[in-house]
Amino acid sequence: MNILSVLIGLITLPAALIAFLPLLGWMYWLIVPVAVVGLVFGLLSRHGAGRALNLVVIIVGIVRLSIGHGII
């Protein structure tokens, strides 16, 4: 489960970095739910690497959405 969580995190992290550019903030509406699925897989495992990676992606996504007024 941890390997799957890390793989999901490694896919969403570069996407989150690309979405940080102006006019691409809408991508976080797709990235955050995928990272939440990765977080769930991370919670089901004993190791915390995937959990931490996906949590960082979720926090960055929520902060970016709130800055761009995507979340009120």
Give per-residue pLDDT as tens, 14-25: 999 999 888 888
| pLDDT > 90? residue 69 | no
Q: What is the pLDDT of residue 35?
A: 96
| Residue 72 pLDDT greater than 70, yes or no | no
Burial call 2-31: b when 16+ CB within 10 Å, e when fewer: beebbebbeebbebbeebeeeeebebbeeb
- Nearest Cα neighbor of 4 from 47, 38, 48 is 38
Rounded to whole angstroms, what are the CA distances from 56 to 30, 37, 39, 53?
Answer: 15, 13, 10, 5
What's the pLDDT score for residue 52? 95
Average pLDDT over residues 27-34: 95
Backbone angles phi, psi at 44, to 5 degrees: -80, -10
